[in-house]
């Protein structure tokens, strides 16, 4: 079980609710760095937030769990999670515009 938690993972998330204008991107960036997850976060034109996260499976799951709550001021109504093949393309976690 321990080895499964350490295997590389990648997830694409779409977070919906009141998630723009509440520091969701900046807070996600901080949380991802705390979890040792790489990737990016950006606002979507429809009011949602998109996140691509890579790291070990446990760390990615930890970030996903946080996204269900978000920062103070956010109201998350839905988190769509799509697992994708890990690419190792990221070395940091950034905010995209």
Active site residue 69: no
Cα of 36 vs its chain's centroid, Å: 11
Active site residue 25: yes
- The side-by-side arrangement of strands in the sheet containing 75-84 is 75-84, 8-18, 49-56, 38-43, 93-95
Dihedral sign from CA coordinates of 24, 71, 59, 93? positive
Dihedral sign from CA coordinates of 29, 32, 34, 36? negative
Say which of 18, 25, 34, 57 is annotated catalytic: 25
Say which of 18, 43, 69, 97 is annotated catalytic: 43
Instruction: Cite the active site residues.
Output: 25, 43
């Amino acid at each position: 079980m321990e080895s499964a938690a350490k295997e590389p993972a990648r997830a694409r998330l779409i977070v919906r609710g009141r998630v723009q204008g509440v520091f969701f991107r900046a807070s996600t960036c901080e949380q991802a760095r705390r979890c040792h997850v790489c990737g990016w976060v950006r606002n979507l034109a429809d009011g949602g937030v998109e996140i691509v996260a890579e790291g070990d499976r446990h760390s990615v799951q930890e970030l996903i769990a946080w996204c269900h709550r978000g920062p103070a001021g956010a109201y998350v109504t839905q988190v769509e999670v799509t697992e994708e093949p890990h690419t190792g393309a990221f070395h940091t976690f950034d905010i995209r515009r």
